[in-house]
Structure 1
Amino acid sequence: MGLGEYPPEFNPRIHGPYHPGRYYGKADLPLGQVKLGEMGSWLSRRSYTPQSMVSCTMRAYWRWATKYMLSKRTSIAPLIQFAGTMGLAYYFLQYRTHTNHRHAKYH
């Protein structure tokens, strides 16, 4: 699967129109239903190649965008999520300077 191509599991006769936020591979147990003893086998069934990581990230982005950005009547939720993400990123980038201002007793 190269850039701009459909995934090999996609069949338009079965799946209908292509949706970039849907996984067309073989269905597996969701993480919430995996028992602790089956966690190793569940993790071994995952693909950890860079291409699969990028496709997983893009599917998550398209699911988010379909829900919040591409709806007919969008709300202020994506702006609040963006501002919260930027606030957290700024906090962690500036964490070293925040540690200098901790309250401590000097006696």
Structure 2
Amino acid sequence: MTKQSRYSPEFRERAVRMLLDQQGEHESQWAAMNSIAAKVGCTAETLRKWVRQSEKDLGLRDGVTSDERERLKTLERENRELKRANEILRKASAYFAQAELDGQAFLRRPK
């Protein structure tokens, strides 16, 4: 169940590149973000998040890279699946252990 992104990765990369190329033409990075965001059709805050993530991916800023984030999601998903499987196995084991005890008690009954 992955969330469908409104913008493609190529679109995001192009918008970030546009910002990096044109930020010198504006008085601040935020002003450049507002200008570029209006041109490409996203919000300035969305563009700011893309730029910050790009900086993390390039090692220019501290934080979790996109690859690390994907790996964490994969590991968390696998962990949930394994916990679910272990719970099923635990319940099945208890059920069969109880069935075996019930069967043994049945065999020991006097006739």
Report 1 or 2 for greater relative contact order, CA contacts < 8 Å, sequence distance ≥ 6: 1
Which TM-score applies when normalising by structure 2? 0.30
TM-score by length of 1: 0.31
